[in-house]
Copies of this chain bind each other. A is one copy, B any other.
């Protein structure tokens, strides 16, 4: 069945990216938006647009029933949830199934089986997928925690079963720390996810975060599209992602890919998904969790495989078979993604919403930017601070790094702060350039050096002159026509007036 119309239940760059894919496939698009997003590009570019409510997500993008109502009203055949918001909400997926609106993602059953980390660990065992030693269900008591920890040996990691983003997580190095850590993790998990269930696993030292992209159709076919390395993280949040990983060879890639595909199939998984692993220094990989949706970082996989994952998601959701086999997948070149955030790395990474008063975006060969921003856009304070995903592709990792540094020099974001300088620092760092990275790499780097911009006296002299010239063009400082700066007058206007008088 071919979709005539798809509702995009999301905002920002991913909503725009999905709208573009639908347009390319000849499918109509319905955007939804909160009051903070009336002027957003996804609202401008969609065929139809409907208001959800006030800015807070709970009153807008998380209102599943309202979104389903709009889908019915607009006769949309399907809903694409993007990432975040309702994308991993099994109840919403089930509501779509009941309402006969296709949810572009896995069935709610698979989402449930893999959504909780403890039950996902049980599935991993059932298909003999390596995972970190530890419990496969929630810890009933502190005593049980002590028992498990003693069995697997310290250091251990306490994690929230419903967890994500580092919340409800505690590393424990000695038995006498366990009690307080257990209490803290449980209450933090309770507050963050409404479930205090925590479990315990062996702490992997200096792990790399490496994940496998899988695609499964509804006819039992499943392929893996290679790995992404996401070891550059700040406080358990991904900052840079790349494909391929510098340490993954063909053999490891096929073993991880095979395990991930087997895992997904065993849970009846369909559509696009990502199986996350920790990889230790001996290149052993351990199952971490599965993300049952499209990932923020999917573009790096698209660039090295030459495929379009959103096109394929829609194809699969329409009931289509995967148009290729595992052996048809060939990786070529190297792609690196930088998550450009509205935050100030020079000032404690304070978030920085507000109006973008000046925007010069980079371009040129090998640069892909997925963003939903423009000069004049007011970045809302209610949502995550991602402004854009700047992706560099090149024949190899080294050139991709230099290409991104070139693009960062072209990039100007004014009016709000951004973390552009964070990426200058990382991409120039020796350890990053030689791929000596693990999930602790960035926090160590930031502890060692603060992100400050290099300033030099001659720079300040040029800036003083530039500032004076900008001021000379402002009417408040006298007659702008006396400014020595050239290029301020538009030459057609006079011509137009001349012509008007004559006509």
Contact = CB atoms under 8 A, between A and B. Distances in A.
Interface of A: 16-17, 20-21, 23-26, 38-39, 45, 299, 302, 306-308, 310-311, 330, 332-333, 354-355, 357, 363-366, 368-370, 376, 378, 394-395, 399, 402-403, 406, 409-410, 415, 486-487, 490-492
A261 to B, nearest CB: 21
A370 B306 CA distance: 20
A396 to B, nearest CB: 10
Nearest to A376: B490
Contact of A364 (B16, B355, B487, B491): B16
A403 B364 CA distance: 18
A365 B403 contact: no
B364 A17 contact: yes
Report copies per complex: 2
Nearest to A361: B363
Given A486-B38, A487-B39, A365 B395 contact: no
A458 to B, nearest CB: 15
A418 B189 CA distance: 58
Nearest to A299: B365
A370 B409 CA distance: 18
Contacts of A490: 355, 357, 376
Contacts of A491: 355, 378
Given A20-B365, A20-B406, A311-B399, 5 more contacts: A306-B332, A307-B395, A308-B365, A330-B330, A357-B490
Nearest to A25: B402
A306 B366 CA distance: 9
Contact of A363 (B302, B311, B369, B492): B369
A378 B495 CA distance: 14
Given A330-B330, A355-B490, A366 B308 contact: yes
A359 to B, nearest CB: 12
Contacts of A363: 369
Nearest to A307: B395
The residue among A26, A363, A486, A492 with the most chain B CB atoms within 10 A of its own CB is A363
A332 B369 CA distance: 22
A307 to B, nearest CB: 6
A365 B17 contact: yes
A474 B402 CA distance: 46
Given A38-B486, A39-B487, A415-B492, A308 B23 contact: no
Contacts of A394: 308
Given A487-B39, A492-B354, A308 B395 contact: yes
The residue among A23, A378, A394, A399 with the most chain B CB atoms within 10 A of its own CB is A23
> Which A-B residue pairs are the 5 nearest by beta carbons?
A20-B364, A23-B406, A24-B402, A306-B333, A306-B332
A365 B368 contact: yes
A399 B332 contact: no
Contacts of A355: 490-492
Contacts of A24: 399, 402-403, 406
The residue among A38, A406, A410 with the most chain B CB atoms within 10 A of its own CB is A406
Nearest to A378: B491
A26 B45 CA distance: 39
Contact of A332 (B39, B332, B370): B332
